[in-house]
Amino acid sequence: MKHIKRQRIYDLLKKDHSHLLGEEINVKGWVRTRRGNKNVAFIALNDGSIIHNIQIVVDVKAFGQDELLRAITTGSCISANGLLVQSQGKGQTLEIQASDIKLYGTADPEKYPLQKKGHTLEFLREIAHLRPRTNTFGAIFRIRHALSFAIHKFFDEHGFYYLHTPIITGSDAEGAGAMFRVTTLDPKHPPLTAAGEVDFSKDFFGKETNLTVSGQLEGELGALALSNIYTFGPTFRAENSNTSRHLSEFWMIEPEMAFYDIHDNMDLAESFLKYLIRYLLEHCEDDLAFLQKMYDEELTDRLSMIIDNAFVRITYTEAINILEQSGQRFEFPVEWGVDLQSEHERYLVEQEFRKPVILTDYPRSIKAFYMKLNDDGKTVRAMDVLFPKIGEIVGGSQREEDYEKLYGRIKEMGIEEGDVWWYLETRKFGTAPHSGFGLGFERLMLFVTGMGNIRDVIPFPRAPQNADF
């Protein structure tokens, strides 16, 4: 087969291809369908660069190789040379008149699971090694890429430095959830202390270590030196919560800013979320249109609703009053002091305001030790951003910068001082007001794709009883 430079289907369909019209080009990809008759065969080829296929037209008699053509079935992989021409058929602008085809890999129609359409998302989860080849997952993973890229772009444009915080940690100070232990000790015969406990001083790091639940504490160390930093990395929770919103391994974005108070923090979260959604609407039009058509008619309306509205900002106390006076029967009853459930959050966003909402000043008892105490002594300078369909999408706060107050909270909550001495030292040496927040990447992916299950917005989900692929 003659060597001709490969063209990505994205480039052919989305970029200026006029200089290639009438030229012999090459495309490579996976066959979505082959149809036709004795005289002509039509191959729909997809290379994953874009949701659309390109049509390859084969003049069967002139082409000759019947056996080769027969082996080009759904799922097989080919390389095709041919003339790029304006298409006569409906629904496509370009097609390729094949001159030569090389078959890289067959896909036995009796065995290849992705025949045609109509598989359930549940079934596709069981074939996570092949589901990227479907339109749905192609669209989702391209959006996932675009969203990641937009996150880095936003922070780079706004003077934030990307800080890599550790994945293996020696402390459980965050208290955000159960952790996965990291160890090289022999599970059958671990070394024991005199008291008969496992002796972790003999473990790889000389202490107990776990996979991180958040990069925030280390992020604060970065902010108190570089001013504005963000993390974007995997985090882990060993919670046995088999829900459509929880993963055992998920990605988190955590900006942390010196000299930001809670209002600056809210402004940043709002402009960040709007920027990301605007970026997707501009860059992922075709993939969003596909998901809207297939899964969620209101998808782009919901995305526009975020961009078009100023986020409502009210206190937790005001929110409790609204919920108490709503006359709604909630599964979890509301009173001042309770942690809000997603039914409450969604009521505020979807029924009461019909806009994104930011709640501030939560009771200290339901929030983490590092949040700055308000003068009332009862509430902390926390801020949660609530979205339709999702509930809490961002959780953040102004951090306690006062050494004595922070130390008091650490003692009160029974946190080992030996685990956080380094964190406390930032308040001893050149402390500064600062703030930050955490955004669960897959929760945002759920929102922007309209998918219903968090396992469908990450390529290879990790969940209780599931670490395949």
Binding site for ligand ATP (CB under 6 A): 176-177, 237, 245-247, 250, 252, 392-393, 395, 438, 440, 442-443, 454
How far is it, in rounded angstroms, from Cα 100 to Cα 103?
10
Residue showing the smallest CB distance to ligand ATP in the complex: 440
How far is it, in rounded angstroms, from Cα 82 to Cα 97?
5
Strands 228-236 vs 24-36: parallel, antiparallel or unpaired? unpaired
How far is it, in rounded angstroms, from Cα 275 to Cα 148?
12
Shortest Å, Cβ 227 to ligand ATP: 23
Identity of the residue, 48 or 363, whose beta carbon is nearer to ligand ATP in the bound complex: 363
Identity of the residue, 25 or 385, whose beta carbon is nearer to ligand ATP in the bound complex: 385
Shortest Å, Cβ 350 to ligand ATP: 17
Shortest Å, Cβ 241 to ligand ATP: 7
Tokens of 395: 């959780």
Shortest Å, Cβ 40 to ligand ATP: 49
Identity of the residue, 107 or 268, whose beta carbon is nearer to ligand ATP in the bound complex: 268
How far is it, in rounded angstroms, from Cα 55 to Cα 249?
39
Identity of the residue, 57 or 458, whose beta carbon is nearer to ligand ATP in the bound complex: 458
Provide DSSP, 64-87.
Answer: --HHHHHH--TT-EEEEEEEEEE-
Identity of the residue, 68 or 176, whose beta carbon is nearer to ligand ATP in the bound complex: 176
Shortest Å, Cβ 215 to ligand ATP: 11
Identity of the residue, 13 or 252, whose beta carbon is nearer to ligand ATP in the bound complex: 252
How far is it, in rounded angstroms, from Cα 191 to Cα 224?
40
Shortest Å, Cβ 311 to ligand ATP: 16
Helix (H) or strand (E) holding 196: none
Identity of the residue, 34 or 246, whose beta carbon is nearer to ligand ATP in the bound complex: 246
Shortest Å, Cβ 88 to ligand ATP: 49
Helix (H) or strand (E) holding 165: none
Tokens of 307: 């961009």
Structural contact between residues 360 and 396, judged by C-beta atoms closer than 8 angstroms: no
Identity of the residue, 200 or 362, whose beta carbon is nearer to ligand ATP in the bound complex: 362
Say if residue 187 is exposed, middle or buried (CB neighbours under 10 Å; 0-12, 13-18, 19+).
Answer: exposed
Shortest Å, Cβ 226 to ligand ATP: 22
Structural contact between residues 461 and 125, judged by C-beta atoms closer than 8 angstroms: yes
**What does each C-alpha distance from 371 to 105, 125, 360, 398 come to in angstroms?**
57, 39, 12, 6
User: For the chain, how are helix, strand and coil distributed in percent, rounded to 5?
Assistant: 35, 25, 40
Shortest Å, Cβ 375 to ligand ATP: 25
Identity of the residue, 138 or 395, whose beta carbon is nearer to ligand ATP in the bound complex: 395
Shortest Å, Cβ 211 to ligand ATP: 13
Question: CA nearest 451: which of 251, 291, 279?
Answer: 291
Shortest Å, Cβ 452 to ligand ATP: 14
Strand arrangement of the beta sheet that strand 209-211 belongs to: 168-169, 209-211, 181-182
Structural contact between residues 329 and 347, judged by C-beta atoms closer than 8 angstroms: no
Shortest Å, Cβ 343 to ligand ATP: 12
Identity of the residue, 45 or 128, whose beta carbon is nearer to ligand ATP in the bound complex: 128
Identity of the residue, 367 or 409, whose beta carbon is nearer to ligand ATP in the bound complex: 367
Tokens of 333: 């009853």
CB-CB neighbours of 377 under 10 Å: 7
Identity of the residue, 41 or 147, whose beta carbon is nearer to ligand ATP in the bound complex: 147
The 3-class secondary structure across 334-387, one letter per residue, is CCCCCCCCHHHHHHHHHHHHCCCEEEEEEEHHHCCCCECECCCCCEEEEEEEEE
